[in-house]
Amino acid sequence: MNDISYEIIERLPTVKEHKTLWEAVGWGPIDTEMSAQSIAHSIYGVVAVSNGEVVGMGRIIGDGAMYFYIQDVAVLPEYQRKGIGGKIVARLLDHIKARRFTNGIAFVGLFASHGKEPFYETFGFKDYSPKMTGMFTVLDR
């Protein structure tokens, strides 16, 4: 039952909000100097606010023309399964649809946390293997 009220606001999360949500969903610790730069280079973002508190976020990174990447979709655990994540993703996709080239194609990618694949499939995301395989590497200490 969706018995909470919230609104989706078009703005990027602050570094503090980003850190709070990042850590609340179990993604581990994050360097705030790094996240500040990352957030600053975003194309677009939204936050979900309930009773004056940011309870969810999502943003878009990429080149703003052909390649878009949905990043950092996170909702506080106690607010999950109430439709907030879906509204965040829908708003991000609406932004991409409105700004992509009329006669062009937009590649929209994301990485889903383990077990969240079915959630993103409801928005048309799918595994394109074996024809195409998403790959990444992590450069850390």
CATH number of the domain to which 30 belongs: 3.40.630.30
Model pLDDT for residues 72-88, shown as the tens digit of each residue:
999 999 999 999 999 99
The tally of domains found in the chain comes to 1
Look at residue 64 and give its three-state secondary structure.
coil
Is 57 a domain residue?
A: yes
Is 127 a domain residue?
A: no
Is 135 a domain residue?
A: no
Model pLDDT for residues 64-123, shown as the tens digit of each residue:
999 999 999 999 999 999 999 999 999 999 999 998 888 888 999 998 888 888 899 999
Is 139 a domain residue?
A: no
Name residues whose C-beta falls within 8 Å of residue 121's C-beta, 6 or more positions apart in sequence.
none
Is 140 a domain residue?
A: no
**Angstrom distance (rounded) from CA 124 to CA 9:** 24
Is 17 a domain residue?
A: yes
Is 112 a domain residue?
A: yes
Range of the domain at 24: 7-121
